[in-house]
Every structure is written in structure tokens, then in C-alpha cells.
A and B are shown apart, each in its own frame.
Chain A
Amino acid sequence: MTTTSEPRTYPFGLPDRLNLDPRYARLRAEEPLIRVRLPYGEDAWLATRYQDVRTVLGDPRFSRAAVLDRDEPRTRPEPTSGGILSMDPPEHTRLRKLVAKAFTMRRVEALRPRAQEITDELIDQMIDHGPPADLVEEFALPLPVTVICELLGVPYEDRKDFRRWSDAALSTTALSREQVQEYLDNLHEYMAGLVARRRATPTDDLLGALVRARDEEDRLSEDELVRLGVGLLIAGHETTASQIPNFVYVLLTQPEHWQRLRAEPELVPRAVEELLRYIPLGAAAGFPRYATEDIELGGVLVRAGEPVLAVVASANRDESVFPDADTLDLRREVNPHVGFGHGVHHCLGAPLARMELQVALGSLVRRLRELRLATPEPELRWKTGMLVRGLESFPVSW
């Protein structure tokens, strides 16, 4: 062990809105690698600088698969039970390749007109009903849920069920252990049912393609197939549904940015990247990587077998990469943020999320130009006990 001091308690505290804990800035400057103790699992290193974060996420000498044999440091009681996020190449590559094609920028661009159509309908409905509206329920959730349902081949009318169960995958303390297990079981059973239906009646959606990859080419196991389906359904909407209101919240509470975007809608793609950089979506760092050999990192020798947590939100505020890193700059030109991660686990759905966020934000600034909070800011309710930050509901007016 190379430790010189007692491990610090991590996460440092409960998330406060979308504010990043100022301790990260001090750590980047003074102690880029510290020992931390999480609520569950063994002690870990915490990496906060941009380059170190990229190394932990992108260097093949760091392993995710190792978590399955270890007491993974984590904020939720349940240990990781497997799935694509706890695999390394080549097993990870085998599964990822099966779905990568469906999420390339080229394939996702073909979905843009449909995403625009869904968005326009949602805004039409909001305008028809008149203000106030809940931006979460009436806009931010239905957009990505509809898109992932159509892409994957999940019936949209089942959303009430799978939406409720999906929270289990992102809960740290919001749900009890029993509830988490029950909901995850429900999701797997539900997905297994959709798979079975495709065996009876083949479909040309992504789930249908995965069923063929299993039955005709034996490229994945039954368990992998069902888990992948569940993973795509959850990841396909939860984060985007949180980020759309997060984006709007930041823009409306720093209204000069909303005004700028309204005046210059061509800035939307760049603004999306900047908001992805600026907003710490995760409540805390998660998904530790284990060093498979001794590796020098942030001036410290990380020993083989030790876990490291990489703080993406801190990397995105590293002044050595992003000048005025704590300032939202919708015109920022050089923006190699790691909001979607880095390395083999770089978000599969990144092109889809980007496209949806661009369509959502672009449409809101064009059509709801006078958008504003419909309740005083301190009364907004933020989710608690979840892996990601987001608003429970977001009453807006226009």
C-alpha cells in the first residue's frame, strides 16, 4: 500500500442541484489521487484530473471485469451482477459489436426526422394545454422513451411498467434492496417475454436482430441477450430524460445563455457539448476500474489489484484542458469533454443522446421562446438516492 493517510469518506456529501463539489478543484490542484472509502466495498483511489481520468477509463491495463471477483467500492448495497459494463475486451467487444452498428452517428442521423416529429408533437400538446407544464413528464421523458421503444421494438404502451422498474437500475438508496431486486426481476421477465414473442414472430427492430444473432449465429447467450435488452431500454432513456431538464434548468437559471441560444440557434450543437461538459450528471463517481499491473497515476504508484474511481465531472472542469472551466461558454470551440466516458465503455448511445438533445433544445428555443420556471427555484424537487442528478418534476411556463 502506498497510502500515507486515512481514506476519506466518499461521496463527499449529498449532491446539491447541479453544483460540483468544490473539493474536486482543490484535489486536482493539490492531491490528484487520494484514498477514499465508499459506503460499500473496499477502499479505492479517486482520480480527479483530466488526463488521469482518461487513463483509468481508456488504458486496457485497467479492468472492469475484475469487479466481479472483488468487493467493488460502490454507493449501493447490491454488488454488480454482470452485464456489458463489467466486461473487458474481447468479451466486451463481442457484445458491443452486436449493437454498435445501430448506434453509429450515420444510423442515428436517419432517426433525426422522427425525433423531430415526436418533439414537435410534444410541444404542440404543451401549447394546446397551455402553461404551466411539467417539462419532465410532458417532454423530457416521452421523447427518449418513444425513440428507444421504436428502435428496440418495445411497446410504448408498456412504459408505465418499465419506467417504474427502470428506477431500480439507477437507485442507490431511493429504493429498498428488496424493491430493487423485484423491479430488476420484473424487467428481465418482461424482456424475456419480448424475446419469446420475436421467436414466434420475427421483427426487424434491434431486439429482433439480437434474437437472430443468438438463434442463428450463436453470438451471445440467452442471459446476455435479455440483459442487453434491459440495458438498452434503461440506458436508452433514463439519462437523456434527466439531461433535457438539467440543460433547461441551467439555461433558465443563467438566463443570458437562454437568450443567446434563442438569438443564435445555430449554436445548439456546440451548446449541447458544453452543457454535457458543464453539468455533473452523475451524483458521484462510480464504476471503478481495477489495475491489472502496477501503474503510475497522478504521481502515485497504483498497485496491481487496486481499484480506482475516475471522476468524470471533475475531469470536465480541469482548467489545464478547459480554460475558465467553471464558466458555461456556449461558444467553446475545443471541447474534448468526457461526459460520455472514454475507452471501450464510451457511451454506446452517445450519438443518439446527442441527436435527441440537439433536437430537444433546438425546438424549445425556437418554439417556447419565453420559457421560464413556473415555481420559485428553491421549490424545485431534485431526485435523491439515485446514480444520476435530475429533477423529479420541472414546472415551466412560457
Chain B
Amino acid sequence: MGELRWRVGVDRETCIGSGICAATAPNHFTLDADRSRPLAELVEPDDVVIDAAESCPVEAIAVSDASTGERLAPEE
């Protein structure tokens, strides 16, 4: 199929549970035990996932191109 997918990861050690991602992108993130986790690791491209990653105060969310591994957010 070769369609573009994004890989979404949350570093739960870094996460402070601010709740910003779960409220910005409720279809992609949820909080459990006061920490965020992605609802799905592989997602269709959706800018709101980038928004969530770029809004995280501790940069605990990483979004990358699933096939190439290229980092899409947050910016270095």
C-alpha cells in the first residue's frame, strides 16, 4: 500500500501529565495514571498531532514518518 503513516510516541518518563495533548487532540491522546499515551502508535497524517507535540511543555511527544523514521515534530 505505501500510504503515508505517522508514528506517535509519548515518553512517559518525561511526561508531566499537563493534559494539553489529550485536550488538543482527544482522538489521539489519552491520560492514564496521570500520564499521556497515544491511542494509536501509527496514525493517518493529521496536523493536530503535530500541534499536540509542539504544544507539549516537556517535549515528551515525538511524531515521525513511519516509513523513513524522519522526525516531524517537535522541531529540534
Residues of A bordering B, CB below 8 Å: 54, 57-60, 89-90, 93, 96-97, 100-101, 103-106, 336, 340, 342-344, 346, 348, 350-351
Contact = CB atoms under 8 A, between A and B. Distances in A.
Nearest to A346: B18
A60 B26 contact: yes
B26 to A, nearest CB: 5
B18 A96 contact: no
B65 interface: no
B40 interface: no
A127 B53 CA distance: 45
B59 A342 contact: no
Interface string B4-25: 0000000000000111101110
A192 B74 CA distance: 31
A89 B23 contact: yes
B70 to A, nearest CB: 19
Nearest to A89: B24
B23 A59 contact: yes
Contact of B57 (A60, A93, A97, A351): A351
B18 A342 contact: yes
B57 A350 contact: yes
A200 B40 CA distance: 48
Nearest to B34: A336
A196 B57 CA distance: 30
B49 to A, nearest CB: 12
13 contacts: A54-B19, A89-B23, A89-B24, A89-B51, A97-B51, A104-B59, A106-B59, A342-B19, A343-B22, A344-B20, A348-B57, A350-B18, A350-B57
Contacts of B23: 58-60, 89, 343-344
B75 interface: yes
B55 interface: yes
Q: 10 nearest interchain CB pairs?
A: A58-B19, A343-B23, A346-B18, A342-B19, A344-B23, A343-B19, A336-B34, A105-B58, A93-B51, A100-B55
Given A54-B19, A97-B51, A344 B57 contact: no
A101 B53 CA distance: 10
Contacts of B55: 93, 96-97, 100, 344
A101 B26 contact: no
Q: Which of B20, B51, B56, B58: most chain A Cβ within 10 A?
A: B20
Nearest to A352: B57
Nearest to B59: A104
A196 to B, nearest CB: 29
Interface in B19-60: 19-20, 22-24, 26, 31, 34, 48, 51, 54-59
B57 A346 contact: yes
Nearest to A338: B19
A187 B26 CA distance: 36
A346 B34 CA distance: 14
A342 B48 CA distance: 19
Q: Which of B22, B55, B56, B58: most chain A Cβ within 10 A?
A: B55
A93 B24 contact: yes
B18 A340 contact: yes
A344 B17 contact: no
A180 B48 CA distance: 37
A100 B54 contact: yes
Contacts of A90: 48, 51
Contacts of A93: 24, 48, 51, 55
Contacts of A351: 57-58
B58 to A, nearest CB: 5
A57 B17 CA distance: 13
B47 to A, nearest CB: 9
A57 B57 contact: no
B15 to A, nearest CB: 11
Contacts of B18: 340, 342-343, 346, 350
Contacts of B75: 101
A215 B3 CA distance: 36
Contacts of A106: 59
Contact of B20 (A105, A336, A346): A346
